[in-house]
Structure 1
Amino acid sequence: MLSLANLSPKAGSTKQKKRLGRGPGSGHGKTAGRGHKGFKSRSGSGVKPGFEGGQMPLQRRLPKRGFTNTFKKQFALVSLSQLNGLGSDEVITVDTLVAAGVVKKGMFVKVLANGEVTNPLKVQVDKVSGAAQKLIEAAGGTVISGEPKEA
C-alpha cells in the first residue's frame, strides 16, 4: 500500500547534487563553477533583496509619510465588569489590578463603562471614562482622581 511513509521518486527522475570543489576529475574543481575573480566568485556575494543595479532603490525613492509620537501613553483598558469581581472594601488601584492579573505591570489603566456595577467601588486609576464614573457613583462608589499617593 502506498502511503506518505514509503513515497519515493521514480527511478531516474531525480538528479544527484552537484558536488563542487572536489578536484579536477569532477569537472567542478578549482574555482567550483564560479569562474575567475569578480563579484560572484567571492563568498558572501550575491545581489541583495531590493538592489536595482545601482539605481536608487524603490524604498529610498518613495517619500516617508506619517508621524510617530514618542511620548504617547498606551492605556490598558479595563471594563466595569472586570472591576465588579474584585473586592469592594478596599481601594482598587493599578497595583490591585496587577495582583489580580487584569493588567500587566507598568501600564497606564483606563476604566471603561462596559458591564454593570453592583458593589460600591473605590477606584483610583490613571483615567476613568465619564460614563464609567457615573455608573460607579450611581452604585454608591467613588472615583479618586490621579495616581495613588505612596505613604
Structure 2
Amino acid sequence: MSIRRDESSPPGEMTLAEAVWPGRLRRIVNAVLNHWRVPHLAYVEALLTTELVTNAFRYGCGPEIGYRLSLTERLLWTEVRDGSPNVPVMRHAAPTEESGRGLFLVCSMAANWGVSRDGTMTWCYLSLAGADTAAAPGAVES
C-alpha cells in the first residue's frame, strides 16, 4: 500500500492529514489478521505498524510511505518504506519525554527488526506459534 505524504508536512512532524493514517492502518491490520485467521497477533501488530508508520511520516522523505504486511507459514512480516536513506536509531527517552520510544517498543515486541541496507525500509516480524525464525526470509542486519 502506498500512502501519499502531505506536501505541507514540516520535517519531524505530522500534519492532521497524515496523523489519521496510523489509526486507519490499525483497523486494516485487525481486519486482515482476522481474515487470515491469526487474530491473536492483531494487538501487537497494530502497535508495530503504528510505530513504524508514525516514524516514517515524521522522519522519512519523499512523496509516499510504503506499507506491506505479509503472512508466511512461520511469520507475520511488516515493511515500511519512507524514502529516507537515514537509518533509524533507537533512542533512550527520559521518563519525562512524551516521545522517543517507538523503536524501543518495536525491538521489545517484535521477534526481530531491522533496516534495509539502503536505509529506506524498516522491517519487523512476529513469529507464529512454534515457528523457527532463525533464518527469516529477507532479513537484513539491524
Provide the TM-score with structure 1 as the length reference.
0.20
Q: Write 1 or 2 for the structure with the bigger share of strand.
A: 2
Provide the TM-score with structure 2 as the length reference.
0.21
Structure scoring higher RCO (CA < 8 A, sep ≥ 6) equals 2
Q: Write 1 or 2 for the structure with the bigger share of helix.
A: 2
